[in-house]
Amino acid sequence: MQVEKTSLADCWLIHDTFLGDNRGYFFESFNKNTFRELTGLNLDFVQDNQSMSQRGVLRGLHYQKGEHAQAKLVRVLKGKVLDVVVDLRKDSPSFGQHLSIELSEDSHTQLFVPRGFAHGFVVLSETAVFFYKVDNFYHKESEGGIMYNDPDLAIDWGIPAEEIILSEKDKSLPFFKELSN
């Protein structure tokens, strides 16, 4: 496992080390001790989540508020997505900034998303299976979100707007400047 700082404070790329031969491959997708050594973060992941989506599906930008905030370790098991995070921490040097990264089954890269970030992704391949660990349990009353096409964030999602497929809930999310956090 190798870690790489990103342009956003406390947000890390994790590059997995594969061992492969004619039988296939093996890799350790997470090791708490190694992660703590490399990042200084001591996390207890409590839940794993997985979704499957078709091309154009955009899930996000979502977050959990207050004591129910969640850190996430995300990766793609099959297919390819554009993964996007936005720093919502008002005291952070990267507040209001976003990061976009392509994650795929071939990239062998994971993204660590700290608490206080909004997160979303759009599927770029025919389908994608997305997997993530969280360090806090989901709490419906603490969920929040930001409209994916917020003009202040100006996120390039990598596909034409007419190809984006949203849930009804995601169509009515507020804009970044409307957040009270």
Tell me the catalytic residues. 62, 132
54 bridge partner residues: 127
Question: 102: burial class by Cβ within 10 Å (0-12, 13-18, 19+)?
Answer: middle
Query: Could you tell me the two tokens for 43?
Result: 């996390």
Cα–Cα distances (Å) from 61 to 39, 99, 129, in that order, read 25, 12, 18
Q: Is 155 helix (H, G, I), strand (E, B) or coil?
A: coil
H or E segment to which residue 33 belongs: helix 32-39
Q: Report the amino acid identity of residue 114.
A: P
Longest Cα–Cα distance of the chain, Å, equals 54
Q: Could you tell me the end-to-end alpha-carbon distance of the chain, in angstroms, rounded to an integer? A: 34
